[in-house]
Amino acid sequence: MDDTYQAYINRVARMTLPDAFQTQVQYIQPSPKYYRSETGEIRPSAFPGYTIISPPWVDDDKNARFYEHLEAYQQQVLQRLEPGLVISVPAKSFHFTLADLIWAGAYRHAVENPDFEPQLYAQVAESFRQSQPLVRAEKPIYWQVLGLFLRTRAIGVCLVPKDEDSYNRIVELRRMIYQNSQLIGLGIEQQYNFTAHITLGYFGEVAATVDREQLTQQLIQLNEWWLESGSQDLWVHRADLRKFDDMTCYYREPNWPTMEFQ
């Protein structure tokens, strides 16, 4: 399902063009991943599941400069857009999703089986083991932020590989995960075409009434600000199996599968 290297570059590049923002703003809507409590506070909704990601910033001192730059950009987004439009995710949770696994209703159904989680850990470990000859190498994997990325319920930045090798090694890992028949039997399946990104926040209630023409111009300006500020490289040095209860924290136990790319 994943693109070839050149097809990926071409597709993602189109997502950061002014025309793309003009089209996408017509479809934005409030995200159900946050809700307003009885006291008026905005809180994360329960949204449990498992994923395979690069270590989030809180556990990744090797990419501190990259994430500091991204956090500054997140603040620019919040300051320039209408208050309440974007609910920011904690910067320390910033990460690069390598392969979505299972979440929400499918996860709740799966964990009714007491053997689900032990089997999940074992099969992710097996996929990591089988992919090692294909993805481990002396050469590091680097990705870069291309620009702002708008989805129906979220805003973030999209990533492109620094070279073809960096792309192909991530795609090989994904292939080993999604073609693992034992994982498929656990309800794990590829549901999305790979679009590497880091989420900055989710749309709040204001998304229902925001001036879309004005928002388009703000997004174009924010995208230009990023391009002018200069991009840092994200060193993708490890893949972790992580669990989440909502969209604010991604954690793991010491014995859960992990794989170094070098």
Residue 103 reports pLDDT greater than 80: yes
Query: For residue 231, is pLDDT > 80?
Result: no
CA–CA separation, 174 and 127 (whole Å): 9
Please state the three-class secondary structure of 39-100 as a single string. Answer: CCCEEECCCCEEEEECCCHHHCHHHHHHHHHHHHHHHHHHHHCCCCCEEECCHHHCCCEEEE
pTM assigned to the model: 0.96
Confidence check: pLDDT of 226 > 90: no
Domain count, the chain: 1
Rounded to an integer, the average pLDDT of 1-16 is: 94
Contact 189, 17 (CB under 8 A): no
CATH code assigned at 93: 3.90.1140.10
> 262: part of which helix (H) or strand (E)?
none
Q: Model confidence at 232, in pLDDT bands (50, 70, 90)?
A: confident
pLDDT digits (tens, 9 = 90+) for 21-54: 999 999 999 999 999 999 989 999 999 999 999 9
- Quote the crossing angle between the two packed helices 64-80 and 212-229, to the nearest 10°: 150
Instruction: Give the domain extent around 138.
Output: 5-260
